[in-house]
Amino acid sequence: MTFKPRITNTEQRITKRSMATALKNLSEYNQNKFTDISQKTFGIVVAEWHDDITSVLCQGAVDTLLKHGAKKENIYINTVPGSFELTLGAQFLALQEEIDAVICIGVVIKGDTKHDDYINNAVANGLTNVALKFNKPVSFGLVTTNTLEQALERAGGKHGNKGVEAAAAAIGMLSF
C-alpha cells in the first residue's frame, strides 16, 4: 500500500504562487505593505556586460523607486564591468551610511562553458553576505537565463522587468 499525501487548497495556492519565472510577470508585486521611501536613499549597481539589457533593467528599477515615492536625487547609479563585480560594487555602496538599500542589476547568459554556474553562485552568495554584513537590503536583480531571448523577455518583454522586481524587493525589505 502506497501513501499518497493529500494536497490542501492552501498548498495548491502556495504552489501556484511559487511557479517559475516562465509563468510569471516579474513586474507584478504586492505593494500593500510598502513603507514611505521619500526619505530613503538607494544605490544601484549595474553591470556593463550586456548593457543593452542592463540599462532597461536599471530604468525599470529607477521607475519603480520613483513610482513609490523615492526622490530622484536620492538614487545613485554606479556601474561595474560585469555581473561578477556586482558583489564588490554592492559592498562599496553598502559601506556608505546614507545608503539605505542597494539594488544590483546584471545579466548572465548560459554559454558553452559552466561560467554561468560559477558567476551566478558567487554573486548570490556574495550579495547575501553583503546584506548580512551591513544589515541593509541588497536586492538580487540578476537575470540568469539560457538564451539571449530569455534575457530580453525578462527586461521589459513578456515576463516583465527584473529591475522592477529588484526595486520592489528593496522597498519591501525596507518595509520589514
Q: What is the CATH number of the domain that holds 63?
A: 3.40.50.960
- The rounded mean pLDDT for the chain is 88
Render pLDDT for 113-151 as a digit per residue (tens, 0 to 9).
888 899 999 999 999 999 999 999 999 999 999 999 999
For Cα atoms 117, 42, 152, give the angle at the middle one, nearest 5 degrees.
45
How confident is the model at residue 115, as a pLDDT?
87
Is residue 96, in this structure, part of any structural domain at all?
yes
pTM for this one?
Answer: 0.85
Is residue 86, in this structure, part of any structural domain at all?
yes
Query: Could you list the active site residues?
Result: 115
Looking at per-residue pLDDT, the higher value among 32 and 163 belongs to 163
The residue segments making up the domain with residue 100 are 37-174
All 3 cell numbers of residue 68?
Answer: 513609490
Q: What is the crossing angle of helices 115-134 and 86-94, to 10°?
A: 10
Is residue 159, in this structure, part of any structural domain at all?
yes
Could you say which DSSP state residue 15 is in? H
Render pLDDT for 34-93 as a digit per residue (tens, 0 to 9).
999 999 999 999 999 999 999 999 999 999 999 999 999 999 999 999 999 999 999 999
Is residue 77, in this structure, part of any structural domain at all?
yes
- Three-state DSSP class for 158? coil
H-run or E-run covering 11: helix 9-17
Is residue 22, in this structure, part of any structural domain at all?
no
Q: How many domains does the chain have?
A: 1
Is residue 55, in this structure, part of any structural domain at all?
yes
How confident is the model at residue 122, as a pLDDT?
97
Is residue 13, in this structure, part of any structural domain at all?
no
Is residue 108, in this structure, part of any structural domain at all?
yes
